Chain A
Amino acid sequence: MTLALVLEQLLNGVQFGLMLFLMSAGLTLVFGVMGLINLAHGSLYMIGAFLCAAVAGMTGNFWLGLMAGIAAAAAAGALIEIVVIRRLYTRDHLDQVLATFALILILSEGVRMIFGPFPLYLNVPDVLRGTVRLGIVDYSLYRLALIGFGLAVAVGLWALIAKTRLGIQIRAGESDREMIAALGVNIRALYTIVFALGAALAGLAGALVGAIQSVQVGMGEPVLILAFVVIVIGGIGSIKGAMVGALLVGVIDTMGRFLLPRLFATFMDTSQAMGVGAALASMLIYLLMALVLIFRPKGLFPAHG
């Protein structure tokens, strides 16, 4: 085990974590502002990836595809909010879970009807092909770009919430819903905008990840569950919590899969250690989440209120 290998795995963990952050940010915003659990968030990730692959395939231009993916996810998010989600804000969590579970079924089958059962493929844009040398590590340029994208979005989101009028309304909505109504803010429009913003972030993540994996129906669900783990660890409603949670989950998951089998191999038969280590590694983040909830029932960075 060399230092270069450890560093490369760490970078992989950070890249994974930042993609999870894009997913979690929308999820946690929607919960923080509207108090809504949205299981269909993974479907928006899928929509972003499919539209990006379809448009990039037609035009041959990845960046056009990326724009289309983000726009489609945002539009789908706004539409869903207006038609369905709006009716759920006053309902209990059980109804929200069920209604958005129903949306997963509808959106997955809808995408399958339109695009067919085969995975689509999306090529990495030419400028981001190949590798770069980072000190002692050769690292895929595209994965490095994903890290850059993740960080840029995090900074942008922070600026949006801290510096803009919309941000003030969002923060007000998180702490006191009646107050923003009294301030004359159009709550309905604000909610639709926040939901569409979250959807756009999910769509962006889907499109970016789609270029190195296959774009297929159901791709959003494993990521959705991980995003929930992230926001529960970080504290539901907190963007800062989502960032910390996402990096924790990304790095712990990647390093666990990398190191645990090696750890067990020091005192066990190698092939047995592979099995036990892999089993434990895949449970690690859920264990972390349960521990956090047991000792800090509202997550690491509880949102106010």
Chain B
Amino acid sequence: MKTLRTTALAALTVGAMVSTAQAETVTVGMITTLSGGGAGLGVDVRDGFQLALEMAGEHSIRLVVEDDAQRPELAVQIAERMIQSERADILTGIIWSNLAMAVVPSTVAQDIFYISPNAGPSALAGANCHPNYFNAAWQNDMLHEAAGQHANVLGYENTFIMAPNYPAGTDALTGFKRYYEGELAGELFTQVGQTDYAAEIAEIRASGADSVFIFLPGGMGISFMRQYEQSGVDLPIVSAGFSFDQDVLPAMGSAALGVINTSQWSPDLDNAANEAFVSAFQQAYDRLPSLYASQGFDTANLILSALSSADISDSDAFRDALRAADFASVRGDFSFASNHHPVQTVYVREVVEVDGVLTNRIIGTAFEEHRDVHGENCNM
């Protein structure tokens, strides 16, 4: 991890040497997935976050990055070390909802802020919401709700739905079903990290479905789509953007072309902040940014905006500053609902090929100013 830490610090020392208002350094601990099948998501969140710090020329933030290898028990240990040894003021970075459920409750209870750049399990948006917990991405259900809504628009009446067996997977299927009006041809939970989907594909083939909804982020989606393509089952797939973004599209190849998916962000989204982000990201890392990179970027800018108007040692003022969300989000309009989860537009995208590179293009809007349903259980 030393190497990562030095790169992060080196990146921060580059840039304009402007004297800043804060003399005090703020330590941000980033626990994210940098190895294994889910590494693509963590790397993009990290890179997006670092890019935002660089572009702001910010050097009052000390960023400590560690790999959780997608293992909850490891994430718990790292969080403990970051709080006790690195004396982090803010934690962020966790990709997976089961890791977030293991880390976030005990972190926020110790008066540390946690800003989620990705995972948004329903429990943390509802009954277990907390003043020190903010989600800068989405509540898990949101994009799936949009997928369910759009399945109606497409006229699907008998959909087969499938997700891994962990909190985000349950949230995905619940979210889809909340808006979907047709019948279910089948409903399956798979193992997290599963690599062989032969049995599931056989079930889909035999189910008589007219369409398939999947939520399989990271390497799971790649394995599934490659095997699905080989299976000869050619039912249309509708999905949330997680399983069809820039981190996995190159590896999926032609199997992903034409898949309809929903997202709060897209590389072709037309606003100044996004244009600057996409071109800076491509210049810095020589690849197109993903949804996850955009969320890492927004998370860093949210933190920076709060730090510029409040001191972190004054938790109440800092919390109010976060809640104001006074920054230019790359997704356009962005604000927090009362449960500290986003209120935002969800778009419908299609996977297309542009100059030999697979990417997404916006083809419509599923929801405007959409907020999650769990907020009403949150008393804060």
Residues of A close to B231: CB separation below 8 A = 131, 138, 140
Instruction: With CB as the reference atom, state the residue of chain B lying closest to A128.
Output: B230
Stretch of A8-16, A86-94, A200-208, A231-239 at the chain-chain interface: A8-16
Contact residue among B35, B43, B227, B251 (Cβ-Cβ distance under 8 Å from A212):
B227
Q: Is A167 an interface residue (CB 8 A)?
A: no
Q: Quick one: given A2-B206, A121-B222, A140-B232, are A213 and B36 in contact (CB under 8 Å)?
A: no
Instruction: With CB as the reference atom, state the residue of chain B lying closest to A219.
Output: B195
Interface positions, chain B 182-206, Cβ under 8 Å from A, are 189, 195-196, 198-199, 202-203, 205-206
Give the Cβ gap from A233 to chain B, nearest Cβ, in Å: 21
Contact yes or no, B36 A217, CB < 8 A: yes
Q: Is A84 an interface residue (CB 8 A)?
A: no
Residues of B close to A290: CB separation below 8 A = none
Interface positions, chain B 226-265, Cβ under 8 Å from A, are 226-227, 230-232, 251, 253
Contact yes or no, B198 A143, CB < 8 A: yes
Q: Is A258 an interface residue (CB 8 A)?
A: yes
Contact yes or no, B39 A118, CB < 8 A: yes
Contact yes or no, A112 B227, CB < 8 A: no
Residues of B close to A218: CB separation below 8 A = 36
Interface positions, chain A 141-171, Cβ under 8 Å from B, are 141-143
Contact residue among B37, B67, B198 (Cβ-Cβ distance under 8 Å from A15):
B198
Contact yes or no, A12 B202, CB < 8 A: yes
Residues of B close to A138: CB separation below 8 A = 205, 231-232
Contact yes or no, A117 B206, CB < 8 A: no
Contact residue among B36, B199, B223 (Cβ-Cβ distance under 8 Å from A257):
B199
Contact yes or no, B199 A124, CB < 8 A: no
Contact yes or no, A254 B36, CB < 8 A: no
Contact yes or no, B196 A121, CB < 8 A: no
- The size bracket of the interface on A is 35 or more
Contact residue among A15, A16, A117 (Cβ-Cβ distance under 8 Å from B35):
A117
Instruction: With CB as the reference atom, state the residue of chain A lying closest to B206.
Output: A5
Residues of B close to A16: CB separation below 8 A = 196, 198
Q: Is B40 an interface residue (CB 8 A)?
A: yes
Q: Is A119 an interface residue (CB 8 A)?
A: yes
CA A214 to CA B226, docked complex, whole Å? 10
Number of interface residues of B (CB under 8 A): 28
Residues of B close to A257: CB separation below 8 A = 199
CA A109 to CA B278, docked complex, whole Å? 34
Give the Cβ gap from A150 to chain B, nearest Cβ, in Å: 15
Contact yes or no, A8 B202, CB < 8 A: yes
Residues of A close to B34: CB separation below 8 A = 117
CA A130 to CA B195, docked complex, whole Å? 19
Give the Cβ gap from A51 to chain B, nearest Cβ, in Å: 18
Q: Quick one: given A131-B232, A138-B232, are A117 and B39 in contact (CB under 8 Å)?
A: yes
CA A119 to CA B223, docked complex, whole Å? 11
Contact residue among A12, A119, A214 (Cβ-Cβ distance under 8 Å from B199):
A12
Contact residue among B35, B196, B199, B205 (Cβ-Cβ distance under 8 Å from A213):
B196
Q: Is B296 an interface residue (CB 8 A)?
A: no
Interface positions, chain B 10-48, Cβ under 8 Å from A, are 34-37, 39-40, 43
CA A131 to CA B202, docked complex, whole Å? 13
Contact yes or no, A216 B230, CB < 8 A: no
Q: Is A274 an interface residue (CB 8 A)?
A: yes
Q: Name B residues whose Cβ lies closer than 8 Å to a Cβ of A.
A: 34-37, 39-40, 43, 67, 165, 189, 195-196, 198-199, 202-203, 205-206, 219, 222-223, 226-227, 230-232, 251, 253
Q: Name A residues whose Cβ lies closer than 8 Å to a Cβ of B.
A: 1-2, 4-5, 8-9, 12, 15-16, 112, 117-119, 121, 123-124, 129-131, 138, 140-143, 212-214, 216-219, 254, 257-258, 274, 278
Closest 5 CB pairs of A and B: A131-B232, A117-B35, A5-B206, A213-B195, A12-B198
A–B complex contacts, Cβ < 8 Å, 14 sampled:
A5-B205, A12-B198, A119-B36, A119-B219, A119-B251, A138-B231, A140-B227, A212-B230, A214-B219, A254-B199, A258-B199, A274-B189, A278-B165, A278-B189
